[in-house]
Amino acid sequence: MRWTEGIEYKSVDDGYNLIVESFENCGIKGVTYSKPSGYIELYSDGGLILSEKYWWNGSNCSIDTDTNIGPSAFHDAGYWLLDNDIIPNTWGNRKKIDKMFYKLCRKAGMRWCRARYFYRGVRTFGWLAC
């Protein structure tokens, strides 16, 4: 079991699972999404909740570290919402999700220069995922 600034998770064979429900503000307001059997909830005030047992594959295109695994859970969830047209897939909304990732990396203890490098990576190549 690992913990990254409020994000508790464990490694599984093909990725990671949350152990405890986690909340962050993604900055996208006015959209609501909740599925009874799903693991992602989005509230109109920008609140993004990942429930216990949410699965993700870690940081793509980089080595997973304690400072980027937890933030990558929220980034993956945000891009899933974009990819499935729950959040309008616009440049501005992708930027908000990417900025949330940057802030979470900093909150997890990543140095600002490395967090900026990761942010530039998702800004440059994140659109390929959507």
Structure tokens at 34: 């909740």
Q: What's the confidence (pLDDT) of residue 130? A: 47
10-residue averages of pLDDT along the chain (130 residues)? 66 89 92 87 94 87 80 92 94 94 91 90 72
Residues 6+ apart with CB under 8 A from 116: 102
| CB contact at 8 A, 101 and 119 | yes
Q: What's the confidence (pLDDT) of residue 28? A: 94
Q: Strands 15-18, 55-56: parallel, antiparallel or unpaired by DSSP?
A: antiparallel
Q: What's the confidence (pLDDT) of residue 127? A: 65
